[in-house]
Structure formats: C-alpha cells, structure tokens
C-alpha cells in the first residue's frame, strides 16, 4: 500500500523487487528448526539451485545478511592487510568494494570511470601489467547505480591470461548481486574465482540472504588469512554448505528456495531473455520521452537515465502518488540528476501499466513525448516477458 493506503505499490526499483508468488507463499510456512532433516533438505536444494543459477560446480554458501555482508566476508576472508587489489569504480556499488578493502587495510588501486562506463579488458590488463603485485581484481557485473554492465567474460579471461603471462595467480571476484538470474552469467566458464549475490534482486525474494560461490583456489586463499573473524569466518560455512554454522534466516531460506525453483523451472535462459525484454521496453519508453540512458552497455537489471532539466524527484513523486509505482533516485554524485527503473521479473501487463503511468506523468508535467508512437514496438518487445504469466 502507498502512504494513504489506497493500493498496493509496484516496485520498479533495482532491489528490493516485488517478490514472486512462490516466495510469498513460502514466507508464511511454519518455522523449521535449522538442525532438522527437513530444513537441511531445503537448504541443500537451495544450494544446488544457486549453483545451477551461477552455472558453477563450486560450493556456494548462504549467509544471513544483505549483499554487502557477502562483499565484506569475501574481503575479510580472502585478502590480507597490505595486499594490493584492483577495483574499477563506475558508481556507488563498485566504489563499495574499494571502501570495504580500505577498512581492512588493503591497498586499493582504483580505475576511475565515468558514470555509465564499464571497465574494459584492455584497461584491466594495462593496470595489472603496470602494478605487478596486484593479488585480486574486484569487479561489479552490473553497476546498479548506473545500469552499466561489465563484459565479465572478456574481462575475466583477460585477468586469467595476464596472470599466466606474469606467472602468478590473480583472483577474480565479481559482485553479481544485481545480475544473478537477470543477465547472462557463467561463473565457471568465465573463470570467476569468487562470485557473490543476494536474495532481493533477480531471485525475486525478500532482502536478507547473501550468497558466496568460491572455487578451490579461493578456498585456499582463505587459509592464508590470519586476521580475526568470527560470524563471517567463511571456513565455518564452507565446511558444509548445507548446514549453516549459526541459526539462519529460516523463513528467507524457505522463500528463496521456492522462488529460485520456480525460476529454474521457467529456464534460466528464458529468465535472462524476459529481463532483457523488460529492460528494452523501459529503455524504449524513456527514450520516447526524450531522456538518455547512462549505460553504454545496458544491463537487464536497471535502466538509469539523465533527467536533464526535468526534476527527477517530481517524476518519481507523481509515479508514486498517482500510479502506485516506485522508481529509484540517483545516489551520491548522481543525486537529483537521474532516475533508475528496474523491470526485473515484471510481466507484460505490469510493464504496460508502467508505460501508461509514465506517459500520464509526462503529460501531467506538460512534457513533450512520443510514447504513443512506440506502443506497437513495445508490445512486440514484451512477447519475451510471457514467461512470467
């Protein structure tokens, strides 16, 4: 419901997103004790389904925290104070890797990029060759602040090849929080040593769980680290990923397990295609209203666009108050300059409703637009969103 309790709100934000019916049903089931066979079975099923979604054979641990908890756990467990890492920064979320590393006394080399840019393989390779003692590269698959997608496959392969040339191992870590089950991601094929995700984005579940997938190399790095850690000591989780070391968020495990099963039933590639179509539709609409997107390489998780002379707070306010649609503002240096719209998990009907609300908002504000003219193309694009029906 919105503040006046009139109708239920639709979240077109890049996390949390509206949860699936399966997640919703699972949330009201009775609490299982986490040491019972019934719960261990659910958690094991969730781990297997997460592996199928990351496309990895690696063990994947479930943490009861938001996504940032997994980022911190990775930094605290894989890196030592004084280690040097490379972090391409393109917005608030990729910057978070650098911030966490600095807190842990890690020496961070930043590649500063403009909003909407993504790091290229050439940039990364050049930095690795210039600074020969870099131990790890911390990447952000989809920079949720700008909607920019990193070509993770090409970048990760470049890291692996450069490391081979330099004759040593460089660890590739990727924040896939807003790309898992949204954009194509193939952890093992793309040689990603460590990938993380969270429950409240592509998995269409409530916030509160985070996931860490580590290969053998990454697990060996944990053993090198002697800095103190307790709750997020990843050795405790990877000892047996189907038994959480502490009481997990039981209801959330049940909800994510149900939701991810549903996604996999629809087919991972169909889910990627549906999210891509939803995003294409949003991008078509905002361009028809005369706005330009930030991302050169558009992710399927979120479309961020410059609002120019138009007040983004007012656009978001009208969408919310008149139409029950919540979109996201810009953060930090982008505050007051952009809006962000996510179509993750949205059906044809929901996106057509968004189109109508967006058109009415533009008209209400007296802004010129050509939304009516793109409607036939919009309907055509949305065919791929039928999987949600």
Ligand X SMILES: *Cc1c(COP(=O)(O)O)cnc(C)c1O
Chain residues that interact with ligand X, rule: CB under 6 A: 15, 66-68, 93, 140, 142, 144, 175, 177-178, 198, 207
Contact of 216 with 193, CB cutoff 8 Å: no
Q: How far apart are CA 175 and CA 213, in angstroms?
A: 11
Nearest approach, Cβ of residue 93 and ligand X (Å):
4
Nearest approach, Cβ of residue 378 and ligand X (Å):
26
Strands 171-175 and 134-140: parallel
Would you call 159 helix, strand, or coil by DSSP? helix
What are the helix and strand counts (H, E) for the chain? 13, 15
Nearer to ligand X, 318 or 328 (CB): 328
Contact of 17 with 343, CB cutoff 8 Å: no
Nearer to ligand X, 234 or 328 (CB): 328
Residue in the shown chain whose Cβ atom is closest to ligand X = 67
Nearest approach, Cβ of residue 198 and ligand X (Å):
5
Nearer to ligand X, 201 or 323 (CB): 201
Nearest approach, Cβ of residue 297 and ligand X (Å):
15
Determine how many CB atoms are found less than 10 A away from the CB of residue 293.
Answer: 20
Nearer to ligand X, 67 or 278 (CB): 67
HEC-encoded secondary structure of 28-81 = CCCCCCCCCHHHHHHHHHHHHHHHHHHCCCCEEEEECCCHHHHHHHHHHHHCCC
Residue 246 burial (C-beta neighbours within 10 Å; 0-12, 13-18, 19+)? exposed
Determine how many CB atoms are found less than 10 A away from the CB of residue 326.
Answer: 16
> 216: which residues sit within 8 A by CB, 6+ positions away?
58
CA pseudo-torsion sign 52, 53, 58, 62: negative
Nearest approach, Cβ of residue 161 and ligand X (Å):
25
Nearer to ligand X, 32 or 345 (CB): 345
Nearer to ligand X, 213 or 288 (CB): 213
Nearer to ligand X, 15 or 278 (CB): 15
Contact of 56 with 213, CB cutoff 8 Å: yes
Nearest approach, Cβ of residue 252 and ligand X (Å):
12
Nearest approach, Cβ of residue 31 and ligand X (Å):
23
Contact of 135 with 79, CB cutoff 8 Å: yes
Half-sphere exposure of 163 (CA within 13 A, CB side): 16
Nearer to ligand X, 263 or 284 (CB): 263
Strands 84-89 and 134-140: parallel
Nearer to ligand X, 67 or 330 (CB): 67
Nearest approach, Cβ of residue 175 and ligand X (Å):
5
Nearest approach, Cβ of residue 357 and ligand X (Å):
24
């Amino acid at each position: 419901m919105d503040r006046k309790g009139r109708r239920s709100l639709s979240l077109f934000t890049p996390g949390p997103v509206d949860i699936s019916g399966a997640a919703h049903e699972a949330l009201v089931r009775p609490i299982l004790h986490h040491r019972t066979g019934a719960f261990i079975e659910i958690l094991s099923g969730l781990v297997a389904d997460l592996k199928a979604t990351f496309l990895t054979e690696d063990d994947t641990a479930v943490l009861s925290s938001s996504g940032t908890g997994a980022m911190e756990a990775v930094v605290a467990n894989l890196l030592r104070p004084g280690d040097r890492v490379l972090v391409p920064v393109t917005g608030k979320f990729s910057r978070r890797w650098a911030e966490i590393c600095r807190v842990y006394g890690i020496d961070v080399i930043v590649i500063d990029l403009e909003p909407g840019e993504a790091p290229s393989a050439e940039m990364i390779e050049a930095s690795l060759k210039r600074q020969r003692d870099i131990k790890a590269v911390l990447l952000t698959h989809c920079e949720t602040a700008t909607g920019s997608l990193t070509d993770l496959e090409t970048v990760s392969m470049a890291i692996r090849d450069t490391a081979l040339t330099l004759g040593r191992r460089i660890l590739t870590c990727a924040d896939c929080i807003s790309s898992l089950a949204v954009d194509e991601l193939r952890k093992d094929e793309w040689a990603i040593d460590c990938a993380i995700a969270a429950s409240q984005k592509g998995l269409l579940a409530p916030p509160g769980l985070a996931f860490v997938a580590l290969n053998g190399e990454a697990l060996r790095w944990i053993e090198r680290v002697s800095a103190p850690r307790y709750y997020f000591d990843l050795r405790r989780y990877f000892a047996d990923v189907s038994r959480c070391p502490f009481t997990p968020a039981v209801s959330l495990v049940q909800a994510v397990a149900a939701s991810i099963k549903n996604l996999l039933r629809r087919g991972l590639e169909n889910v990627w295609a549906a999210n891509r179509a939803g995003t294409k539709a949003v991008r078509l609409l905002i361009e028809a209203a005369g706005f330009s997107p930030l991302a050169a390489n558009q992710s399927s998780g979120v479309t961020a666009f410059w609002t120019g002379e138009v007040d983004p707070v007012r656009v978001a306010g009208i969408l919310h108050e008149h139409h029950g649609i919540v979109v996201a503002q810009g953060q930090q240096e982008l505050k007051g300059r952009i809006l962000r719209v996510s179509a993750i998990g949205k059906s044809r009907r929901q996106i057509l409703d968004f189109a109508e609300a967006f058109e009415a908002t533009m008209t209400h504000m007296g802004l010129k637009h050509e939304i009516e003219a793109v409607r036939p193309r919009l309907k055509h694009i949305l065919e791929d969103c039928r999987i949600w029906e």
